């Protein structure tokens, strides 16, 4: 009787199980790497959005200071009017805690695209981040080919906002710039925060 040699069913199943484990480990490692890379990219985008808000605040403050006169309350530039009529109004005594991802009553954002027309101050449509913190423009029908157009209107602030704080008998305002979003690969909210302190010459 001729005996044929070959792998038994147990050996085949064992080989398949080993292959499946190695494949799952490899896929898990790839997914973790992609999640970390995407989280790093979102962190960079969030910091860029926060820096944009900080620079807009500094620009409005500098514009007001350059036009300020102790004997007159008149200003002419839209940026100076933004500081005088919006950024220094209805400030709170303190900001909300950073880790809570909650927005205070003084929350706002500045849309730099329409800042020169004094329409850049927005307290409406500040919502949770869909992907990463950003200022969204246009509507849902605007595709990726034209989202950089300057004529698209403000749509919403997603996961980013600013809170203004002013203590009595002080000559400055603290602007707390916040960002909060769900980074890939984690169940904990990612939060960023910074404070910009700006001098208010009209305060005694």
Q: Residue 52 — pLDDT band, cuts 50, 70, 90? A: very high
pTM score over 0.95: no
- Report pLDDT digits (tens) over 135-151: 988 775 555 555 556 66
- Report pLDDT digits (tens) over 105-124: 889 999 988 776 656 899 88
Instruction: Determine the Cα angle at 75 with ends 71 and 78, to 5°.
Output: 165
Structural domain boundaries in the chain: 9-199
In which residue are the tokens 């981040």 written? 129
Distance of alpha carbon 112 from alpha carbon 125, whole angstroms: 16
């Amino acid at each position: 009787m001729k005996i044929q040699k070959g792998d038994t069913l147990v050996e085949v199943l064992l080989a398949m199980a080993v292959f499946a484990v190695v494949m799952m480990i490899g896929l898990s490692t790839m997914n973790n790497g992609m999640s970390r890379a995407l989280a790093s990219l979102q962190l960079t985008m969030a910091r860029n959005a926060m820096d944009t808000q900080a620079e807009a605040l500094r620009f409005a403050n500098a514009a007001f200071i350059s036009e300020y006169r102790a004997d007159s309350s008149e200003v002419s530039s839209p940026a100076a009017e933004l500081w005088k009529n919006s950024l220094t109004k209805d400030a709170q005594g303190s900001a909300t805690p950073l880790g809570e991802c909650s927005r205070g009553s003084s929350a706002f954002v500045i849309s730099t695209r329409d800042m020169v027309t004094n329409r850049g101050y927005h307290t409406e449509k500040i919502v949770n981040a869909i992907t990463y913190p950003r200022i969204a423009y246009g509507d849902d029908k605007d595709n990726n080919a034209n989202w950089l157009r300057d004529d698209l209107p403000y749509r919403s602030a997603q996961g980013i906002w600013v809170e203004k704080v002013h203590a009595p008998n002080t000559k400055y305002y603290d602007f707390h710039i916040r960002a909060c979003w769900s980074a890939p690969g984690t169940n904990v909210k990612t939060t960023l925060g910074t404070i910009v302190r700006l001098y208010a010459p009209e305060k005694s």
